[in-house]
């Protein structure tokens, strides 16, 4: 892919945006989950340790996406992994949502949908990236 093409710049921007999104969301939930839950009127879980773990993993994945952004031409294998991670997170949210809508609060429904969109865009980007 030509580094000066508009498609190349689009995918670079996509991975930079996705990286920033995951780093910011992960950091916000890590340090401010109490405020976020109160703002949206959600009940805090009895043990928020899994929230801290999920927040750390989300932020860490953001840094992983930053690695893809920095070396887009040689990241086809990493992009495949990114698609699976985004699909996994959205699948968990959608499965619980369809089992019982009360299991998944609205912010997580939105984040699951965003992850599903990212998975589709990442998958689409594979057609244009050198293997």
Give CA–CA dist 103/43, Å, rounded.
Answer: 11
Q: How many residues can be counted in the chain?
A: 131
Contacts of 7 (CB under 8 A, 6+ apart): 1, 128
CA distance 20 to 26: 10
Indicate the domain borders of the chain: 6-128
Rounded CA-CA distance 91/34 in Å is: 25
Among 29-43, 82-96, 108-122, which is the least confidently predicted range?
29-43
Q: What is the pLDDT of residues 57-75, one digit of tens each?
A: 999 999 999 999 999 988 9
């Amino acid at each position: 892919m030509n580094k000066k093409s508009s498609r190349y710049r689009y995918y670079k921007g996509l991975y930079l945006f996705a990286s920033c999104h995951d780093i910011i969301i992960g950091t916000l939930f890590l340090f401010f989950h109490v405020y976020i839950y109160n703002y949206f009127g959600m009940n805090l879980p009895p043990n928020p340790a899994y929230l801290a773990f999920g927040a750390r993993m989300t932020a860490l994945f953001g840094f992983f996406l930053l690695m893809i952004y920095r070396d887009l031409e040689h990241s086809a294998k990493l992009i495949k992994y990114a698609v699976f991670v985004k699909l996994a997170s959205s699948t968990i949210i959608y499965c619980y949502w369809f089992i019982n809508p009360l299991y998944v609060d609205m912010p997580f429904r939105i984040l699951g949908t965003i992850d599903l969109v990212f998975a589709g865009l990442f998958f689409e980007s594979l057609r244009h990236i050198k293997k």
